[in-house]
Amino acid sequence: MNMRSLKTSLPVFGWLLLADVRFIWKDFFANLIDAATWPFFIIFINGYVITAMGMPENYGAFTSVSMVIIMGAYNAWAASIAIATDLCGPKNISYELTLPIPYWMVWIKNGLYLAIKSAVFNSLPLLLGKIILGNRFDLSNFSLLKFFVLYTVACLFFGMFALWSTVITKTAESHSRLELRLIGPMFFLNGWASSWATMAAVSPALGFFVRCLPWIYAYEGARASVLGQQGYLNVWLCVGMLLIFTALIMWSSIRLFKKRMDCI
């Protein structure tokens, strides 16, 4: 692909993305309610009820940060179902593949759309956590820069990961099965409920296994940027690892997409 073609394709990429992103604003309030409901109850229970059973008082704050990550991942995944269904059925994506833009840009555009969908509402649990937990949520170590960078990279990873899932599954049903059997357990195993240091202390083998997977870096990086670095993996290490995983998954996803759609 020459530079002239690339220059022609970039505005098309932008317009296609804008056409998709407008969909997010269309249901703004419904999406806002969705993003608030589940975190509200989990933060409340983990902040007041679970702590009454002997967990540290900051467990609610810990959970609030976990919710930012899991809601981001979940929203990207949920939005990807439409893409998985399209690839298995009507292949409406064909229209975009005949526009003056290379196939890989169309595919990345879809991943970016999922990332934006994941990012727009899912920092809400932080605000909710502060409102629900008050002084139990200490934000004195909060770094806006670190959180912004980590959150952006994490959402990009979730978007590209959700996109990758659509191209490795042959039917919409197998996409759901993948979520139930693998992705769901992985989200939780990889640090939703506990820090990496705790898991590694319980079992070094578990600690090693978890470090080989991407989600732990999203959880740990978010906690380090919101709650402070102590006790968590270094936030810049987490950003770097997430970028590496994102690049790998994007590369794999583009190759699989080309093979599956047999596109030019």
Partner 1 sequence: MLKIKNITKMFGDYSALKDVSLDINPCEIVSLLGVNGAGKTTLSSIVASLHPPTSGDVLFDDVSIYNDIIAYRRNLGFCAQSQNLALHMTVREHLVFAGRYFSMKPHAIEHRVQELIELFDLHKYIDASPAILSGGYKQRLLIARSIVHKPKLVILDEPTVALDPHIRRQLWDIIKGLKAQGVSVLLTTHYLDEAEILSDRICLLHAGRVQLIDTPQALMSSYNKGRLEDVFIQLINEQTPESSADAQAMARQGRDYL
Q: Are 246 and 112 in contact (CB under 8 A)?
A: no
Choosing from 17, 55, 99, 172, the residue that interacts with partner 1 (CB under 8 A) is: 99
Say how far apart CA 214 and CA 158 lie, in whole Å: 10
Say how far apart CA 93 and CA 86 lie, in whole Å: 7
Interacting residues with partner 1 between 72 and 91 (CB under 8 A): 90-91
Residue with tokens 């998985």: 84
Q: Are 115 and 72 in contact (CB under 8 A)?
A: no
Interface with partner 1: number of residues (CB under 8 A): 28
- Which pair of tokens denotes residue 73? 């991942």
Per-residue x/- mask for partner 1, residues 233 to 262, rule CB under 8 A?
A: ----------------------------xx
Q: Are 224 and 233 in contact (CB under 8 A)?
A: yes
User: Is 182 among the residues that bind partner 1 (CB under 8 A)?
Assistant: no
Nearest residue (CB) to partner 1, 206 versus 263: 263
Nearest residue (CB) to partner 1, 16 versus 67: 16
Choosing from 49, 56, 92, 247, the residue that interacts with partner 1 (CB under 8 A) is: 92
User: Is 97 among the residues that bind partner 1 (CB under 8 A)?
Assistant: yes
Nearest residue (CB) to partner 1, 2 versus 230: 2
Choosing from 52, 54, 95, 145, the residue that interacts with partner 1 (CB under 8 A) is: 95
Say how far apart CA 115 and CA 122 lie, in whole Å: 11
Choosing from 3, 29, 100, 135, the residue that interacts with partner 1 (CB under 8 A) is: 100
Q: How far is the CB of 32 from partner 1 (least distance, A)?
A: 17
Choosing from 94, 171, 176, 203, the residue that interacts with partner 1 (CB under 8 A) is: 94
User: Is 29 among the residues that bind partner 1 (CB under 8 A)?
Assistant: no
Q: Are 172 and 84 in contact (CB under 8 A)?
A: yes
Choosing from 30, 52, 180, 264, the residue that interacts with partner 1 (CB under 8 A) is: 264
Q: Are 139 and 64 in contact (CB under 8 A)?
A: no
Q: How far is the CB of 65 from partner 1 (least distance, A)?
A: 32
Stretch binding partner 1 (CB under 8 A), from 16-24, 116-124, 175-183, 243-251: 16-24
User: Is 9 among the residues that bind partner 1 (CB under 8 A)?
Assistant: yes
Helical spans, DSSP H, in the chain: 3-26, 28-44, 50-52, 59-88, 93-97, 103-121, 124-133, 144-168, 172-178, 184-189, 196-202, 204-211, 215-227, 235-261
Cβ atoms within 10 A of the Cβ of 10, count? 12
Q: How far is the CB of 96 from partner 1 (least distance, A)?
A: 9
3-state secondary structure of 47: helix
Binding residues (CB under 8 A) for partner 1: these are 1-2, 5, 8-9, 11-12, 15-16, 19, 22-23, 26, 90-92, 94-95, 97-102, 261-264
